[in-house]
Structure 1
Amino acid sequence: MRSFIDLDRTIGRVPSRVVTMLSAVDVGRGSEALYRDQMPGLLESLAQYARVASVMTSSAIEGVIVSDATRAEGIIGGRVQILRNRNEKELAGYRDALDYLLREDWGPLNTGLLLHLHRLLFAHTASGGGSFKTHDNLVVDRAPDGTSTIRFKPVSAADTGFHVQELIEHYRDAIERREHHPVLLIGLFVLDLLVIHPFEDGNGRVARAVTNALLSDAGYDVVRYVSLEQAIAESVDAYYQALLDSTHGWHTGRSDPWPWLGYFVERLAAAYATFARRAAAGRSDGTKQDRVREYVLQHAPAVFRVSDIRAALPGISDPTIRMVLARLREDGAVAAEGTGRSAAWHRTPNTEAPNR
């Protein structure tokens, strides 16, 4: 809410680095229609992978982890009906909240929507959800020795409903006026929502799920095909530091939004770059085995798993991927640590360096 009081002051002067990244984001957005028209099958495969990755990684950021990957994917896919513990129940809850927002008719953005998402998030647990906090809370870091450090102080429980409603009204008004870049407005909305911290638990997950919905609603559909939550999880220290840096002085209207907005736009630009790489790999010439071989030798990370290849090359089966990896290992081009689904692969020193 406070970030929207004077938008010209808050984001009127965009740092050149952020301008450059916003340009990359908008170029990426312009390419989405081409892929939707020409490669609907590819996008469906990417969307399925992104959905699973989003549920698992957004939950993992908050310590909600189902260690059995096969069971976790079964829960997300709706194939596991009996949920054994709280982690599995909260994983299913985030699945339900995210799926609700993937619908075309999830809107409009209002207080009721946020409460409904929170209700979905905890619907499988005994505690339930769907209400704002009733006690003042603090956001703290807890050290291994048990000590804690206050990161920031959210608004009071008594003022939460007012602040949430005012934030939504300011955001919707700013979007309608179209005087500032929508990605920056979405980033500000998420920042203020997290500082308000309206719930006892689940604030980060609700905020990340809403982020996807708002970006898609503004025409940035890449979040349907590349997991923004996964990108955040892979840079979680930077995520928390950017939020912390932009909360200093928030209550007095003197905060600096650019640490957070810079991080936010950077992650979105990276998502578009990932989308472009995966789309290009999905439509490249050659047999499926050739495409796997090219990806492993030319584009894969230094350490990768079968799931990384599956995500980069939608439509190629795991048996095909494993067959190519087996041949490359016989040729001495790659080596593996571990076995089965958890095996980590890497190129050997004499392998051609990746061309990126």
Structure 2
Amino acid sequence: MNSPHSAKYIWQQPGWPALRYDLATLAPELGAARRAQGNVLGRAEAIGLEQLASITNAIWVDEVIATAAIEGEALNLDAVRSSVARKLGLGEGGPVARNVDGLVDVMHDAGSAFADRLDADRLCRWHSALFPGGTSGIRRIEVGRYRSFSDPMQIISGRPGKEVIHYEAPPSARVAAEMDAFIDWFNSSATAGEDGLIRAALAHLWFETIHPFEDGNGRIGRAIVDLALAQDLGAATRLYSMSRQLRENRRAYYDALNQAQSGALDVTDWVAWFARQFALACEKSGQIIQAALAKQRFWAQHAGVPLNERQRKAIQKLLDVGDSGFQGGLSAEKYGAITGASKATATRDLTALAEHGLLFVSGQGRSTRYALKKG
């Protein structure tokens, strides 16, 4: 048994894995996170099922791409959209790489089958789905089972000969017992009254600390976060994208994990950081929903205006990207590029849109520019 002074990593601390936190210190962060969550849930209720389905679909696609990107893997956007659409029953789509379908399967299982218990078999099936060919890149790895190799499990960066060891996980011989303890806690804590955000933060840190698989631990660890958050809400939803938030703060994410894994059993700082990221993820989803509501109001306000397909396409583009999405403003030339219209047709269409009150006009001649008329 290591003494606190000789322990380099949290799993070497006496008392591991009894993680601790100061609830009073966390109260402001948890309160802010819950307010942000309540705000996004309230906006979701106001938007209607059809629009909400489109938004959650887009958020899920973002989440799949983000959790892979954190690990340096760039997935094809169209492939992810096709896989997500099939999983949601929205269409068959084209052929998709098995690893993309596998990641979507894992995230779907975590988010929708939240009432099912977590066990070693479920985690190993997730792992098999991530590596359907039995390789990570061209390197063969242990797939669908905990790691068993005798070499240290280390997270390393830097050039050969100048490597930096950021973290070393428990030896493989300890993994099965460590995971049994984690799984027992995860299942029992779901009904023990512990705050759901705290539980998600602890689950992610604990799992990443064990690092039970040869590869894919980050993606599975974030799927566990999805599972814990769905259990906290008691519903299968993708209204907030934690992986996207973590990707945007990738360096801080790794730093926060590293500090927690190299510290004492009091992980208050890690939980506070996690809660802040959750709040930010909710705020960004709230902004997405608010923009969708603004589009709804715009179309309702102008429901009686006769529009051709070109005009409708251009207006939708303006609503999607905003006026700032067209550097220098929308011109007849840009309208033509969007719709395929000639310059003369573009000018007629834009003039009609301005006369109907959908656009306002600035400038003259070749400098004429158009922007949405809001409010």
TM-score, normalised relative to structure 2: 0.68
Aligned ranges 1:177-326 → 2 under 5 Å: 177-178=192-193, 180-219=194-233, 224-249=238-263, 254-284=264-294, 286-288=297-299, 320-322=315-317
Which protein is bigger by CA-based radius of gyration? 2
Q: Which moved more, 1:166-175 or 1:55-64?
A: 166-175
Indicate the residue corresponding to 2:27 in structure 1: 19
Q: Deviations over 1:121-158 (max 9, x none)?
A: 11255557210001144332322566321111111111
The one-letter amino acid of 1:322's match is: K
Superposition deviation, residue 328 in structure 1: 6.8
Superposition deviation, residue 100 in structure 1: 2.0
Superposition deviation, residue 289 in structure 1: 11
Q: Do structure 1's residue 164 and structure 2's residue 179 form an aligned pair?
A: yes
Indicate the residue corresponding to 2:163 in structure 1: 148
Q: Deviations over 1:260-301 (max 9, x none)?
A: 22221111111221232222332236424999xxxxxxxxxx
CA distance in 1: counterparts of 2:246 and 2:173, whole angstroms: 31
Q: Deviations over 1:78-109 (max 9, x none)?
A: 534263xxxxx433321121122232466112
Count of aligned pairs:
299
Superposition deviation, residue 119 in structure 1: 1.6
Distance 1:114 1:211, change over 3 A: same
Distance 1:244 1:129, change over 3 A: same
Q: Deviations over 1:294-345 (max 9, x none)?
A: xxxxxxxxxxxxxxxxxxxxxxx97544356698788934899xx99xxxxx
CA distance in 2: counterparts of 1:290 and 1:330, whole angstroms: 23
Superposition deviation, residue 73 in structure 1: 3.5
The one-letter amino acid of 1:282's match is: A
Q: Secondary structure at the match of 1:150?
A: strand
Q: What are structure 2's unaligned runs of at least 5 residues? A: 1-9, 87-92, 303-311, 339-375
Indicate the residue corresponding to 1:122 in structure 2: 131
Q: Do structure 1's residue 54 and structure 2's residue 34 form an aligned pair?
A: no
Q: Secondary structure at the match of 1:11?
A: coil
Q: What are structure 1's unaligned runs of at least 5 residues? A: 84-88, 292-316, 341-356
Superposition deviation, residue 61 in structure 1: 1.1
Equivalent residue for 2:100, pick from 91, 103, 111: 91
Distance 1:51 1:146, change over 3 A: farther
The answer to whether the Cα contact below 8 Å between 2:153 and 2:171 also exists between their aligned partners in 1 is: no
Question: Which structure is richer in relative contact order (CA contacts within 8 A, separation 6 or more)?
Answer: 2
CA distance in 2: counterparts of 1:231 and 1:53, whole angstroms: 10
Distance 1:69 1:276, change over 3 A: closer
Q: Do structure 1's residue 332 and structure 2's residue 332 form an aligned pair?
A: no
Superposition deviation, residue 223 in structure 1: 6.1
Indicate the residue corresponding to 1:307 in structure 2: none
Q: Deviations over 1:227-277 (max 9, x none)?
A: 21111111000000000000114xxxx244133222211111112212322
CA distance in 1: counterparts of 2:232 and 2:207, whole angstroms: 18
Superposition deviation, residue 194 in structure 1: 0.3
Superposition deviation, residue 221 in structure 1: 5.9
Distance 1:280 1:145, change over 3 A: same
Q: Secondary structure at the match of 1:206?
A: helix
Distance 1:80 1:13, change over 3 A: same
Superposition deviation, residue 51 in structure 1: 1.3
CA distance in 2: counterparts of 1:129 and 1:47, whole angstroms: 31
Indicate the residue corresponding to 1:43 in structure 2: 52
The answer to whether the Cα contact below 8 Å between 1:93 and 1:124 also exists between their aligned partners in 2 is: no
Indicate the residue corresponding to 1:352 in structure 2: none
The one-letter amino acid of 1:239's match is: Y
Q: Which moved more, 1:230-239 or 1:321-330?
A: 321-330
CA distance in 2: counterparts of 1:40 and 1:120, whole angstroms: 31
CA distance in 1: counterparts of 2:24 and 2:242, whole angstroms: 23
Q: Secondary structure at the match of 1:151?
A: strand
